[in-house]
Amino acid sequence: MEEIVLPDHVVRTKELLAAGWTRDGIRRAVEKGHLTRIRQGWYATPLADERVLRAVRSGGALACASALAHHGAWDVTAGVVHTRMDHNRVGSLPAGLKRCQAWHSKLDVAPEQAVDDLAMALRTAWNCLSLEGFLVVCDSLLHRNLMTRHELSRALRHAPGKEVVLDKTDRAESGTETMVRYRLRSRRVQLTPQVEIPGVGRVDFLVGERLVIEVDSREHHTGEENYQKDRARDLTLRAMGYIVVRLTYQQVVHDWPETERCLVAMIQRGDQWWGSRRGRKVA
């Protein structure tokens, strides 16, 4: 049993024993570096993710936004490791860890796995994240085909107001797109995501008739090839009469107040309409 294949590369002692390991076999695997003891009753292989190790080492499981990111959703943790643990566990957590609790349970039991599944992670995120953060992860779960809308709804069954929240989900290819959509719609700006423009392709947002908003992210708009492609698209759109605004990750995540001020000024001026309709404002 030299080769060890484990979900998330973390396993409990009882699972190893149930799979046919002996305690001597576990000890030899530790001596050879194939396994590392994280805490009593838990072991990991050298391939285990550091965030998973920190969560299990603290006495819990990787949970909430951290588990969602681990499964492939957009990461809204800002470097904080979200954990879920038995309600009887007391004491403070090390710096950089946050204890979370599923919305439906005041008495969390000790996690059976190192990483919560998507449904449990989503229920915990409901109780932890802001509305914007929750929409970011829901949009990414849908976009990346990690969950369907039906599965989102089922995971949140009985959550108060879940349909109102899920109705705010929409098409988005990145978390920054969700942020822009949510924030502008909160200002009553009417914008349509993922609009197909003949001769150009799909743009992130179209406000009114001609104001195109493209939202760059660290994930999709880096590198010289993408840079050149994006600028070529922008030039084509401008030649067709569209006004193109391209927002950087920095402008969305860190400089939003000034970014919003500029966008609202353009919209209030009527830049989103063709010449004959300029001056028509969006509330």
Q: Are 58 and 83 contacting, i.e. CB atoms less than 8 angstroms apart? A: yes
Please check whether residue 1 lies inside any domain of the structure: no
Q: Which of 14-18, 89-93, 243-247, 265-269 has the lowest mean pLDDT?
A: 89-93
Question: 267 and 206: one domain?
Answer: yes
Residues 64 and 151 in one domain: yes
What local confidence, expressed as pLDDT, does residue 2 receive?
A: 45
For residues 233 and 253, state if they share a domain.
yes
Mean pLDDT (the chain) is 90
DSSP H or E segment with residue 66? helix 64-71
Same domain, 43 and 27: yes
Domain membership of residue 2 (yes or no) is no
Of 130-139, 205-214, 271-280, the poorest mean pLDDT is in 271-280
State the DSSP code for 41: T
Distant-in-sequence, close-in-space partners of 89: CB < 8 Å, separation ≥ 6: 59, 60
The whole-number pLDDT of residue 102 equals 82
Render pLDDT for 26-59 as a digit per residue (tens, 0 to 9).
Answer: 999 999 999 999 999 999 999 999 999 999 999 9
Same domain, 58 and 42: no
Residue 79 inside a domain? The answer is yes
Domain boundary among 143, 166, 189: 166
Please tell me the predicted confidence (pLDDT) of residue 89. Answer: 78
**Shared-domain flag, residues 204 and 233:** yes
3-state secondary structure of 120: helix
Same domain flag for 88 and 192:
no
Give 282's pLDDT tier (boundaries 50, 70, 90). Answer: very low
Q: Tell whether the model's pLDDT for residue 224 goes beyond 70.
A: no
Structural domain including 193 reads 175-277
The answer to whether residue 69 sits within a structural domain is yes
φ, ψ of residue 43 in degrees (nearest 5) = -135, 160
Q: Stretch 254-280: mean pLDDT, rounded?
A: 87
Phi, psi dihedrals of residue 191, rounded to the nearest 5°: -135, 150
Query: How far is CA 245 from its chain centroid?
Result: 24
Over pLDDT 70: what percentage of the chain?
Answer: 91
pLDDT digits (tens, 9 = 90+) for 180-216: 999 999 999 999 999 999 999 999 999 999 999 999 8
Looking at the fold, whether 182 and 132 belong to one and the same domain comes out as no
- 183 φ/ψ angles, rounded to the nearest 5 degrees: -70, -40
Angle, helices 175-186 vs 256-269, to 10°: value is 50
* 136/185 same-domain check: no
Verify that 58 and 156 share a domain, yes or no.
yes
Total domain count for the chain? Answer: 3
Specify if 283 maps to a domain.
no
| Whether 59 and 160 share a structural domain | yes
Say whether both 159 and 61 belong to one domain: yes
The whole-model pTM stands at: 0.88
Residues 152 and 140 sit within 8 Å (Cβ to Cβ)? no
